[in-house]
Amino acid sequence: MTGTRPFKHALDRLQQAGLRPTRQRLALARLLFDKVDRHITAEQLHAEAVDAEVQVSLATVYNTLHQFTDAGLLREVVVEAGRSYFDTNTSDHHHFFFEGNGNLQDIPGESVTVAHFPAAPAGTRVARVDVIIRLAPEEA
């Protein structure tokens, strides 16, 4: 019976995160996690939900994306002013960013070495290291 596994998968994620499995969260989790990894904005996800005839407000999409992020199910990626991407790939990795079209592409964590940087200042710890390789169209 096709169609139940995706629900199961999304349900597992919510339980793992300690979040109540509401209709909206289940639907958003399915949209987010039942496909290949991706980088999506709140508005894009809301549009996808509307498109899939899931009734959910934009406020709830924002709330849910932040809850998922806090729970470690998503990662927020900021590369441009006034636009936040939410990344379904939560493994240690980095990004190519195409300045032309705003696309993001993953770079596996193992394939970048960040070495020699100074120790974190006293009273702080390194929460994350982000490497963004900004790409421009090749000149003619």
Q: What is the binding site for DNA (CB under 7 A)?
A: 19-25, 41-43, 55-60, 62-64, 66, 81-84
| Residues 50 to 79 in contact with a copy of itself, rule: CB under 8 A | 76, 78-79
What is the DSSP code (8-state) at residue 74? -
Interaction between residue 109 and Zn ion (CB under 5 A): no
CA-to-CA dists, residue 85 to 16, 52, 67, 122, 125, angstroms: 23, 21, 14, 31, 24
Interaction between residue 107 and a copy of itself (CB under 8 A): yes
Contacts of 57 (CB under 8 A, 6+ apart): none
- Minimal distance, residue 132 CB to DNA, in Å: 16
| Size of site (CB under 5 A) for Mn ion | 2
Interaction between residue 76 and Mn ion (CB under 5 A): no
Choose one: 35-43, 52-60, 115-123, 127-135; the region binding Mn ion (CB under 5 A): 35-43
Tell me the one-letter amino acid at 27. A
18 binds, among a copy of itself, Mn ion, Zn ion, none (CB under 5 to 8 A by kind): none
**b/e per residue 94-113 (b: at least 16 CB within 10 A):** bbebeeeeeebebeeeeeee
